[in-house]
Amino acid sequence: MVMRRIFAFAAAALAAAMMISCGSRDLKVSVENASDLDRVSETIELDFGNIIAEHPELTAENVVVLDAAGAQVPSQVYTEDYGMVKLIFQATVPAHQTAEYTVKAGERETYDTLVFSRYVPERLDDYAYENNRIAGRVYGPALEDPRTLGPDIWLKRVESLVVDKRYELNDYHHDHGDGMDCYKVANTLGGGALAPYVDEKIVLGDNYETYNRICNGPIRTKVLFTYKPFSVAGYQVVLKRELTVDANTNFIKISNWFDAPADELPVVLGAVLHDVIDREDGDHYIAFTEKASDSADPEADGNISVGLVVDAAEENVEVGTMDGHAVLKYSITPGKRADVWTGSGWSKGGVESPEAWAKTVKDFAYAQANPLKVTLK
């Protein structure tokens, strides 16, 4: 009888200790970088729904992320279009090292907003986007010409947000100290888009029909576009595109869903070529630099750099030139998500040389092929 009481007491004490431990335990996030490249300010995504199932004390209003030194790093909670709730933050991990972060309840600091996007009804239904390095826009239904999936590149020389200011001035083709629009799109894929092709001719698609902004900062803005059906090889293709802009990068992610009555759809990730002064073709990427294309004085307005990166999981990717565009050519399965990345930069906004830009694009493609490993402890 005495022995049973001792065992019962020990079991109760152990259970109580475990409950106290579980109730007060912080969530540890291990971010491992097995690659040869230092990863700086790279966005980490966590399923916040699963986290709060185990840690009900956490909410979108009180969750904080701390680095190894105990300093709070900017974080963001948002709900995806399909319902998943995500917690994101940006990690910096040297090559072949692991960084540890802590997720816990606390008082959230005020973070600088480094990303922004919005619908622009005052300029023919533009949808403009930016982060602290780059900016751009996609064209909407009210614009009669051009009609294309291709984006316009806006150049920046400051880290502050400029979209609203430029539309308010209505003079964004001149540099007022923060950059300008001196890039020509016309009826092309502009600064980079995934599009079908038929007989070595790119099908440009159309301007977006509807949009749904999913989140808007402080470190990610995301928008889902839908498009009217357009004809490819005699059949109708329907497209949804999701554009994701994160802070501290020259690249945007574009997720594409093409629906078509076919087993496969030939596509290119392409960007139009203007007065090119340097180009590097690599494994799943293209980097090129050209003179300002929509400019009365290209020499004074500097050089524009463009980068294209295809998901490393895609097979049989061919690099080349088609229909006046630099292209990465392959086939996708209709209905399945196809991820691509496009990047831009300016010689007056941090791009030191065409060679430096080529390395930036090459390193970015390498990083996408070698993702950080995230483990919850």
Q: Which tens digit of pLDDT belongs to each residue from 110-134?
A: 999 999 999 999 999 999 999 999 9
Q: Where in 157-209 does DSSP place strands (E)? A: 179-180, 193-198, 201-202
Q: Does domain 115-373 have CATH number 2.70.98?
A: yes
Type of residue at 322: M
Q: How many helices (H) and strands (E) does the chain have?
A: 5, 27
Structure tokens at 327: 């292209």
pTM, two decimal places: 0.92
Q: What is the pLDDT of residues 264-276, one digit of tens each?
A: 999 999 999 999 9
Domain residue limits, the chain: 24-109, 115-373
Structure tokens at 314: 């895609």
Q: What is the Cα–Cα distance from 87 to 103, expressed in whole angstroms?
A: 10
Distances (CA, A) of 31 to 43, 68, 89, 255: 11, 11, 12, 24
pLDDT per residue, tens digit, the chain (377 aa), is: 433 443 343 443 333 333 333 444 789 999 999 999 999 999 999 999 999 999 999 999 999 999 999 999 999 999 999 999 999 999 999 999 999 999 999 999 999 999 999 999 999 999 999 999 999 999 999 999 999 999 999 999 999 999 999 999 999 999 999 999 999 999 999 999 999 999 999 999 999 999 999 999 999 999 999 999 999 999 999 999 999 999 999 999 999 999 999 999 999 999 999 999 999 999 999 999 999 999 999 999 999 999 999 999 999 999 999 999 999 999 999 999 999 999 999 999 999 999 999 999 999 999 999 999 999 98
**Type and span of the H or E element at 21:** helix 2-24
The half-sphere exposure of 284 on its side-chain side, counting CA atoms within 13 A, is 19
Instruction: Report yes or no: 64 and 106 within 8 Å, Cβ to Cβ.
Output: yes
**Which residues are registered as beta bridge partners of 212?**
224
- Is the fold of 24-109 the same as that of 115-373? no
Residue 25's pLDDT is 73
So what's the architecture of 24-109 in CATH? Sandwich (2.60)
Type of residue at 119: Y
Q: Coil, helix or strand for 226? A: strand
Is 159 exposed, middle or buried (CB count within 10 Å of its CB: 0-12, 13-18, 19+)? middle
Q: Coil, helix or strand for 14? A: helix
In the numeric block, the tokens 């079991």 are attached to 11
- Helix segments in 106-220, DSSP class H: 163-169
Q: Which of 132, 185, 135 is nearest to 155 (CA)?
A: 135
Residues ≥6 apart with Cβ < 8 Å to 217 = 76, 113, 114, 115, 116
